[in-house]
Structure 1
Amino acid sequence: MSFYEDLAAALDAEGIESRVNDETLFVPISSGVEIQFDVTNELLPAANIYIAAAPESCDGGTGPDADEEEFEAVLVSAVFSVDAAVDAVLDHMATDAIVDLVDELVTDPDGRFGDLQFTAVEGEPITVRSPAAENSELDIVIDIVDGEPTATVTLTTFDPDLEALLDDQLDGTDGPVDDETVAELIGCFLAEGLILPEQTMGLGTYTEFGRLLTVMPFIAEHVADWEEELTSTADDYDVLFGDSRDGDTEDDDDDIEDFDLDGDDEDGPAPQG
């Protein structure tokens, strides 16, 4: 059997469609993107891999029998076995699915996510985040687990006093404040018992991204209720964390001390890590 025949059989075993046309094997990985294999040595074997925009055929679908001169294929790698070729297809399909999911979450083209407004957060794995309800954040962390793209959704609720305390401490600060400074302040607040620890709630892990997008409108509708319940649970501070929170900080705004983030103020507590 030829390399293409072996590869087509291996892809078929994975449930992946492929076609051969003009000595090139085409593998559609989404409605607009395809992988192309070009064998450079049949005996070795060796094949170049190209990524290209899938051309639109006359019936509105995609396929290798459309006008190939209307798009440009880009060489991305080479493989030297059928197994490596299949792995490359699976990796590209996973990457394409992640890109599509992030785009869907950030743009919300159908307006299904209510007040949630996701933005991408730099880092590894990929994360998109949205403010939620009054004092919460909704994180969707996307990674490849055992070769399969996976999204994990978590709601994190913060103490309602946190924003006011941060505003008070950072009032008059010139220029942007980095995340490290904010984290140090939060550590100080926690050490002094001024705020409650954040509360988290898992909202599922998804390998079927279509299912996640179906669930998202329900999540958007219920985040306020979940925040209220999480905050109510955290407010029972004596039971959960011991009695180290003294009084109502809203009544003591004028008495809040300035925390020394440089660690050289003898009168103020050093930041907590």
Structure 2
Amino acid sequence: MSFYEDLAAALDAEGIESRVNDDTLFVPISSGVEIQFDVTNELLPAANIYIAAAPESCAGEMIPDADEEEFEAVLVSAVFSVDAAVDAVLDHMATDAIVDLVDELVTDPDGRFGDLQFTAIEGEPITVRSLAAENSELDIVIDIVDGEPTATVTLTAFDPDLEALLDDQLNGVDGPVDDEVIEELIGCFLDEGLILPEQTMGLGTYTDFSRLLTVMPFIAEHVAEWEEDLTNTADDYDALFGDIGDDGDMVEDDLEAFDLDGNDGDGSLPR
């Protein structure tokens, strides 16, 4: 069997369609993108992999004899076995699914996510985040797990007093305050028992991104309710942290114990 025949059979075993036209094997990975394999050595074997815009379809089928040259193809890699070619297809399909999901979350084209407004956060794994309710963040962490794109959703609720405490501490500070200073202040607040640690709630792990997008409107509708449940622990402050004031607020003496040079009242700061 030829490389193309072996590859087509291996892809078919994965439930992935492919077609051969002239000397190129085409694998559609989404409605607008396809992978093209161009064999450069049949015996080795070796094949170049290109990513290209897929030809338009008619009634769900590829237009016969479409002029492939009018679609720009970009060389991305080369493979030297059928197994490597299948892995490359799976990787590109996973990447395309992740890109589509991030775009859907960030743009919310159908307005399904209510007040949630997601932005992409730099780093690995890919994360999209939205402020939620009054004092929470909704994170969707997207990664490839065992070769399958996977999204994990988490709601994190912060103590409702945290913003007020930070505002009081930073009042009058000129210029920007970097993240390290903010983290040190929060560490001080936690160490002194002035705020509760952040509370987290898992909202599922999804390999079916269509299912995730289906449940997102429900999540958007209920984040305020969940935040209230997560942060409704004021009666437990004394049990958890001891006496922190008659009304549970930060007192002036506590505030004066902090500064912005990296030290608190006893000369140390939690990291």
- State TM-score, norm by structure 2: 0.93
SS at match of 1:263: coil
- Find the aligned partners of 2:6 and 2:148 in 1 and give their Cα distance: 23
Deviation at 1:10, TM superposition (A): 0.3
Change (3 A) 1:253 1:262: closer
Contiguous gaps of at least 5 residues in structure 2: none
- Find the aligned partners of 2:198 and 2:116 in 1 and give their Cα distance: 20
Whether the 8 Å contact between 1:161 and 1:249 is mirrored in structure 2 is no
SS at match of 1:236: helix
Whether the 8 Å contact between 2:50 and 2:75 is mirrored in structure 1 is yes
Q: Give CA deviations for 1:146-205 in whole Å, capped at 9, x if unaligned.
A: 111100000000000000111112223333322222111100111111111111000000
- Find the aligned partners of 1:257 and 1:176 in 2 and give their Cα distance: 21
Identity in percent? 85
Whether the 8 Å contact between 1:131 and 1:138 is mirrored in structure 2 is yes
Matches within 5 A, 1:1-273: 1-59=1-59, 61-62=61-62, 65-233=65-233, 235-239=235-239, 241-243=240-242, 245-248=244-247, 250=249, 252=251, 256-257=255-256, 259-263=258-262, 267=265, 269-273=267-271
Change (3 A) 1:63 1:244: farther
Q: Give CA deviations for 1:61-111 in whole Å, capped at 9, x if unaligned.
A: 546732323321000000000000000000000001001100000000000
- Find the aligned partners of 2:20 and 2:221 in 1 and give their Cα distance: 47
Q: Give CA deviations for 1:112-131 in whole Å, capped at 9, x if unaligned.
A: 00000000111110101000
Whether the 8 Å contact between 2:117 and 2:130 is mirrored in structure 1 is yes
Whether the 8 Å contact between 1:188 and 1:270 is mirrored in structure 2 is no
Change (3 A) 1:105 1:36: same
> Number of paired residues?
271
Whether the 8 Å contact between 1:94 and 1:144 is mirrored in structure 2 is yes
Contiguous gaps of at least 5 residues in structure 1: none
- Find the aligned partners of 1:270 and 1:261 in 2 and give their Cα distance: 12
Q: Give CA deviations for 1:226-245 in whole Å, capped at 9, x if unaligned.
A: 01111114652345x34253
Whether the 8 Å contact between 2:18 and 2:25 is mirrored in structure 1 is yes
- Find the aligned partners of 2:64 and 2:142 in 1 and give their Cα distance: 31
- Find the aligned partners of 1:108 and 1:24 in 2 and give their Cα distance: 37
Change (3 A) 1:180 1:264: closer
Whether the 8 Å contact between 2:194 and 2:249 is mirrored in structure 1 is no
- Find the aligned partners of 1:142 and 1:119 in 2 and give their Cα distance: 13
Amino acid at match of 2:270: Q
Amino acid at match of 2:262: G
SS at match of 2:256: coil
Whether the 8 Å contact between 2:158 and 2:199 is mirrored in structure 1 is yes
